[in-house]
A and B are shown apart, each in its own frame.
Chain A
C-alpha cells in the first residue's frame, strides 16, 4: 500500500519484507506541490517589479512563458503517456523563472521557444523533477541566447547594445520598446521621457564595469571614473535599470528569497555563499590599471576602501547575480542535497559568475556559472558529505562493527 516506487525496484531488498503498516503515523503537512506553489508565489515578487519598471510587455512575456511551459509539459505527458506525478505546478514555476531571465522587449516567439526547450530538453528528457541535471529555466534561457541574434535580446542604440527601462512618468503602463534616444540621463528619477517615447535606454551597468577588465576595450583611467558613469545606487537596488524582467530589483529579490529561506525551501547558506564568493572574487580579481597594461590585483583596496566597497556593491547588484543566487541556483533538483555540498556549490556559482562576467564577453555570466555548477552537482553530492554519526570524518569504508 505504501510501496509504489516509480522506478524499477528490485526484489532483493524487499523480498520477505515484513508486511503491515509502518510508522510514522504522523506526517508534516507540506507536500511537493505546495513547495512549488509557494516558490511560484515568491517569484511573482520580482515579476511584479518587472511589470512596474518594464510595463505590460513584461506581463505578456511572463504569461507566454508560463503557458508555454505548462502546455509543453501537458503535451509531453499526453504523447508519452507518463502519468503527471507533480501536476503542472513545477512547469508553471519553470515558466515564470524563465520569463524573469528574459529581456522585456523580446518578440512573442522568444519566450515560447525557450519554454519548449526548457521543458523538453531541460526537464522531460531527464525524467522530470528529481532527475534533471540542469535547472530547466536556465536551459531555456541558454537556448534563447544561442538561437536568437543579439537584436532580439539587446537593442542596439548608436553603436552599443542598450537596455530600455520605462521612464518615471510611464511606469506600469508604458511600452518599453518606444525608446527616447535623446533624453539626457540624470539617474532614473531625474529623467523624463518625452512623448511619444515611453522608455529611456542605457547600457547595462555591468557593461561599464566590464571596461575595467575585458581585453579589447579601452581601459578607463580609474575605477572611480567608471563608478561616476554608473546609475545611482538607489536605481540598482529598487530595479530602475536595464536588464531581464526579474533581474533588476535587488530589494524585491532579497525579500522574496528571505521568505523562501524562512519557509525552509531555500537554505540561507546557499544564496549567502554565492553572494559571499562573488564579493570576494570581485574584491580580489585583477582589473586593468590606467596605463592599460599592468593588471591591478585586489581592486577593492587599489583606490581606497571607500571606492572599493562601492565597486563591489555595484558588481553584486548590477546584473542577474541576485536572481541566480536566490531563485535559480536554489532549484532543488539541480543543487546538491546536503548542506556542506551546497556551500561548495554556492562558492563555485558565485566565483564563476564574476569570473565569466569580468573576463569573457558572455551575455549571461551568472546563469552560465549556475549551469556549470549544476553539472558538478552529482560529484559534489558524493564528495562532500556530512559526517555520519559515529564515523570518523573521512571514513569511507563499510562499517566493520555490526553486531551488538
Chain B
C-alpha cells in the first residue's frame, strides 16, 4: 500500500522517553534566515590546522567562492557562504568536545547579500556510473564535513571507513531530542537529494548494507521522498522513539547487534553512522557542484518567539540568530540539542555540526544536594553504568576506579543529569572523568613513546 515498507527493530536497555516538544517546528518548511549583518566564517571547521585564507581584507567575494585552502588533509576548504566584502581575519568559537568551546580563526564578511532559498540544481555528474575512486576524489575536493559531531573532513572519514572495512552504513535521522527538527525537515522536503547523497556515501565507503533509520512516529512525512530508497539498495527502518536511540552506540547495537567497546567508535565494529545533513551536502557537492556553505538549523524552544527551520550560512553568529528569532530577555540561548548542548557565548558561530539553536527558560532547580541513591541514573543509563558510583569516584577523585567501572562507555546522553532528584550535574562529571582518563592515557602513551626512543 505505502511506498515505504519499513522493517521494525528492537530496542535497547535503559533510556527514557523524553517530551517531544516539536510542535512548533515539525511542520515548518525550511526558509532562509533573515538578513544577517556579519558572518565570521570559521577557517577550522574541523579540529585540524586552520585553512589558509585566499582573500585579502577589503576584497569583494561572491557566493560559493573558495576563500580558504586546506593545508592539511584533515581540514577542508572554505567557501564564501554569501556574497559580500571581506572585513578582515578575526576569531570565532565553535562547539568542541565535552561542552568546550574551540576557538578558530575566521574570515569576517560584511555587506552581505540576503540568504537565498534552496536552489533546484540539476545533476551534472553521473555518479551512478562513476567508479568509487573518482567519487572519493570528488568528495575530497569539496569542503564537505561530517555534520554529526565530532566534525571531521568527509574525505578523511571515508578513508577511516575504508581502513576499518566498514560493511554497514547507517543514516540516523531519528532525531529524538526535544525541539530539534532540522534533519526531519530535510528528509521530508529534500528527501530524494538526501537519499542520493546517502547512496553516494555508500558507494564511497563500499558499504554493503545501507540503512536509513527514521522515527516510527514520522514515517508518514517521508513516504514520497523515501520511496525510491530501495532503488539504491537502501533499507528504510522505523525505530522506536526512546531516547537516546540516535546515539552512535545505541543505533549500532539496535541495527547490527554489535556493541562498540568502551571508548571506541562505530568504525571499530565495522559500521559508519551519518546523518541527513551530511548526505544532503554530499549530494549537492558531488552531483550538482554546489559547495557546502549553509545547513538547516532549527531555531526553537519556549523562549523564542519565531521558531522555525532555517537555512543558515556557516559562520552566522549565534547571538544574531537568537535576536532574529526573538529571544526573551533573561532566557538562555543554547547551542545544540537541549540534552547535550551548551550555553551560547559571545563569539559563537554556527558550523557544520550545529543542528539547533534553542531558547530555553532558565531552570528553577536549586543547588545540588547529596546523592540519595535512588538508582534512577543507573537504571536508565543506556551504557548500563552505575552512575551513582561514578559520582562517588568523581567526588573522591578516583579516575582509575571509574575507568575500571567502564566510564568510557558513556554515550553522553545526559539522562543521568536529567533524572537525578538531587540535581547533581552527573553527565558533566562523567564527561570530566572521561577527559581525565583520556589525558592520563595520552600522557602515559607519550611517556612510553619517549622511553622507547631512548
Contact = CB atoms under 8 A, between A and B. Distances in A.
A23 B337 contact: yes
- Chain A contact-residue range equals 35 or more
Interface in B361-389: 363, 365-376, 378-379, 382-386, 388-389
A34 B419 CA distance: 13
B438 A23 contact: no
Interface stretch (A103-111, A192-200, A364-372, A389-397): A389-397
A35 B421 contact: yes
A42 to B, nearest CB: 15
A25 B360 contact: yes
A217 interface: no
A9 B267 contact: no
Contacts of B408: 399, 402
Contact of A86 (B262, B369, B395): B369
A21 B422 contact: no
B22 interface: no
A396 B262 CA distance: 12
A28 interface: yes
A387 B396 CA distance: 24
B302 to A, nearest CB: 10
Contacts, number: 217
A18 B103 CA distance: 13
Interface string A373-404: 00000000110011111110000111101111
A31 B422 CA distance: 6
Contact of A390 (B19, B264, B365): B264
Contacts of A382: 389
A106 B433 CA distance: 52
Most buried by B among A7, A26, A31: A26
Contacts of B100: 18, 20
A159 interface: no
A31 B384 contact: no
Contacts of B435: 17
B267 A404 contact: yes
A21 B373 CA distance: 25
Contacts of A25: 332, 334, 338-339, 341, 358, 360, 363
B397 A10 contact: yes
Interface string B235-260: 00000000000000100010000011
* Interface bracket on B: 35 or more
A390 B370 contact: no
A31 B421 contact: yes
Interface in A14-44: 14, 17-18, 20-28, 30-32, 34-35
Given A13-B397, A389-B253, A27 B263 contact: no
B339 A390 contact: no
Contact of B427 (A22, A130, A342, A385): A22
Given A23-B99, A332-B374, A398 B428 contact: no
B111 interface: no
A20 B101 contact: yes
A130 B263 contact: no
Given A23-B99, A25-B338, A388-B409, A338 B386 contact: yes
Interface in B401-454: 403-406, 408-409, 411, 414, 417-419, 421-423, 425, 427-428, 431-433, 435-438, 441
A6 B370 contact: yes
Contacts of B263: 399, 401-403
B372 A332 contact: yes
A26 B18 CA distance: 10
A306 interface: no
A13 B343 contact: no
Contacts of A265: 374
B336 interface: yes
A388 B332 contact: no
A394 to B, nearest CB: 12
Contacts of A24: 338-340, 414, 417-418, 427
A88 to B, nearest CB: 14
Given A13-B397, A401-B268, A26 B404 contact: no
Interface in A245-293: 264-265, 267
Interface string B82-102: 000000000000001011110
Interface in A302-351: 332-333, 335, 337-339, 342
Contacts of A149: none
Contact of A130 (B259, B365, B370, B411): B370
Interface of A is mostly: loop
Given A2-B428, A388-B385, A390-B264, A23 B372 contact: no
B334 to A, nearest CB: 5
B345 A20 contact: yes
Nearest to B12: A389
A290 B417 CA distance: 61
Nearest to A5: B395
Nearest to B345: A20
Contacts of B427: 22-24
Contact of A337 (B160, B375, B409, B419): B375
A2 to B, nearest CB: 4
Given A339-B379, A386-B384, A21 B342 contact: yes
B365 A31 contact: yes
A182 interface: no
Give the most central of B18, B372, B428, B431: most A CB within 10 Å: B372
A382 B390 CA distance: 12
A3 B367 CA distance: 9
Contacts of A397: 404
B100 to A, nearest CB: 4
A38 to B, nearest CB: 11
Given A17-B432, A128-B370, A27 B365 contact: yes
Nearest to B18: A26
B178 A26 contact: yes
Contact of A391 (B18, B261, B423): B261
B334 A389 contact: no
B2 to A, nearest CB: 34
Interface string B12-33: 0100001100000000000000
B394 A390 contact: no
Most chain B beta carbons < 10 A, residue from A27, A86, A335: A27
7 smallest CB-CB distances across A and B, nearest first, come from: A10-B397, A388-B406, A21-B343, A24-B414, A18-B100, A402-B263, A390-B259
Interface of A: 2-10, 12-14, 17-18, 20-28, 30-32, 34-35, 85-86, 128-131, 264-265, 267, 332-333, 335, 337-339, 342, 381-382, 385-391, 396-399, 401-404
23 contacts: A4-B367, A10-B397, A18-B99, A22-B343, A23-B336, A24-B338, A24-B340, A24-B414, A25-B334, A25-B338, A25-B360, A85-B369, A129-B370, A335-B373, A337-B378, A339-B379, A381-B389, A386-B13, A388-B384, A397-B404, A399-B403, A402-B437, A402-B441
Given A7-B396, A401-B263, 7 more contacts: A4-B367, A23-B339, A24-B418, A25-B360, A32-B422, A35-B374, A389-B383
